[in-house]
Amino acid sequence: MNSTRAAIIEAADRLFYQRGYRDTSFADIAAAVGLSRGNFYHHFKSKDAILDGVIALRRQKTGELLAQWSAESADPAGRIRSFIHILAVNRDPILEHGCPVGSLCVELAKADHEALADAAAIFTMFRDWLRAQFEALGRADDADELAMHLLARSQGAATLASAFHDRSFLDREIESLETWLAHCLGDRPEPQTQGAHPCSSSC
């Protein structure tokens, strides 16, 4: 059945995120799906094949998410805020397991795994979508730089938040990113003194 295949991929998707690719065994996935180990090879010829399926699923879900954000806001700035807010929406899993895309890429990079390019393509989807939003905001010249900047800051926030299990740091970073965005869009506050204008939240 196709639904068995889908169930395997979904379970693997969750486990790869929670435990990492290498630390997730067939036995783990089998237990999660309620299937015997031997039966796996009817659906996937290897563990790497499951990884390919998981990445394909994540790319599909990412595409749907971006389409949803595009549909929810006509305003590019609102769309970008939707991106920033995934850090808040996924706060708890991020504190425990980091960013699903970033942590997988880090693991695959170390393993010199050929699926790294596929996994990094999820970053590219966000990058391209964000760049399009900045372009729509009249920042054609540095739209890609701004997109990468946002990606990098969200990655750093996720890494440190999970390393320290620090929820309030994550919340501050979200706020800081929103202020940065407002700043970028020309909605900058009146010049203020140093004390009232911390670089960390508005620069």
Q: Write out the binding residues for DNA, residues 26-55 only, by CB under 7 A.
A: 26-28, 34-43, 45-48
Q: Which is nearer to a copy of itself, 36 or 192 (CB)?
A: 192
- Inter-residue long-range contacts of 24-33, CB under 8 Å, 24+ positions, other chains counted: 33/4, 33/7, 33/8
**To the nearest whole angstrom, how small is the minimum distance from the Cβ of residue 6 to DNA?**
11
Residue 2 near which of DNA, a copy of itself, none (CB within 5-8 Å, type-dependent): DNA
For position 114 contacting DNA by CB under 7 A, the verdict is no
**To the nearest whole angstrom, how small is the minimum distance from the Cβ of residue 62 to a copy of itself?**
14
Structure-block tokens of residue 60? 């599909």
The Cβ of residue 54 has, within 10 Å, a number of other Cβ atoms equal to 26
d(CA 100, CA 97): 8
Stretch that binds a copy of itself, among 6-14, 46-54, 80-88, 161-169 (CB under 8 A): 161-169
**To the nearest whole angstrom, how small is the minimum distance from the Cβ of residue 31 to DNA?**
10
| 3-class SS of residue 189 | coil
Residue 130 near which of DNA, a copy of itself, none (CB within 5-8 Å, type-dependent): none
The angle at the Cα of 126, spanning 67 to 112, to the nearest 5 degrees, equals 130
Task: Identify the helix (H) or strand (E) that includes residue 135.
Answer: helix 116-136
Q: Which is nearer to a copy of itself, 35 or 134 (CB)?
A: 134
The gap between the terminal CA atoms of the chain, to the nearest Å, is 53
Contacts to DNA by CB under 7 A: 1-2, 4, 24-28, 34-43, 45-48
